[in-house]
Amino acid sequence: MPSPSMTLFHSPSSPFVRKVMVLLHETGQLDRVALEQVQLSPTSPSEAVNAQNPAGKIPALRLADGSVLHDSRVILDYLDQQHVGDPLIPLQGPARWRRLSLASLADAILDAAVLIRYESFLRPPDKRWELWQEGQQAKIERALQQFENEAIAELACHFDIAAIGVACALGYLDFRQPESNWRQRYPQLADWYAEVSQRPSMQATQPPA
């Protein structure tokens, strides 16, 4: 087997990294990427990551020629062009913009949930701002509502860029907001997630217990 030609800056708890890993599984490219484990947060950055991505965030993907791709959307787009199977991001037409917009809404859930995590875990209790946190949670709920009411059939029809994003977002809510009970409020999403979370790509990339 050839040695991996790319390096992914990785943490098993990062939902953005998980999207990349799921795509690698789904497209049969796992053996092309070596994982470099990093631990980081806005208050304890990783020098190794900063040197590759000035934003100090993962995922970042170093290619064989030494160039570095970020963020997760760019990496997914790149990796989807490196395999011979059906693309997970439609190449053109209305489907492309629709699926990318659904994926972007899933990322918005992740952005808000990660900010809530930082607020509740990193920020000293006397500096926390409840209204701000509620505003972030409201973004999550509006997005979930839209997936439940308007996009469930679209998610169910193809495990592509949009579905990967939503599945990783729901997985992250289970991981960081286990008390949130989202399944009760969004039962169709819950049924869909129960099914897709059985996929080998989702099973192999679960966040740490």
Question: 104: exposed, middle or buried (C-beta count within 10 Å: 0-12, 13-18, 19+)?
Answer: middle
From first CA to last CA, the distance across the chain in angstroms is 31
Least separation in angstroms between CB 5 and ligand GSF: 21
Q: Which is nearer to ligand GSF, 59 or 90 (CB)?
A: 59
Restricting to residues 114-133, name those near ligand GSF by CB under 6 A.
Answer: 114
Told to check if 16 binds ligand GSF by CB under 6 A, we report yes
**Which residue is listed with tokens 């484990």?**
37
SS3 151: coil
Restricting to residues 73-92, name those near ligand GSF by CB under 6 A.
Answer: 73
Q: Which is nearer to ligand GSF, 16 or 186 (CB)?
A: 16
Q: Which is nearer to ligand GSF, 59 or 148 (CB)?
A: 59
Token pair of 13 as six digits? 């708890």
**Which residue is listed with tokens 């599945």?**
167
Told to check if 205 binds ligand GSF by CB under 6 A, we report no
Q: Which of 7, 29, 50, 71 binds ligand GSF (CB under 6 A)?
A: 71
**Which residue is listed with tokens 């087997």?**
1
Restricting to residues 41-70, name those near ligand GSF by CB under 6 A.
Answer: 41-42, 45, 56-59
**Which residue is listed with tokens 């053109």?**
92
Alpha-carbon distances, residue 118 vs 22, 48, 90, 104, 203 (angstroms): 24, 21, 34, 21, 26
Q: Catalog residues that contact ligand GSF under the rule CB under 6 A.
A: 14-17, 40-42, 45, 56-59, 71-73, 107, 114
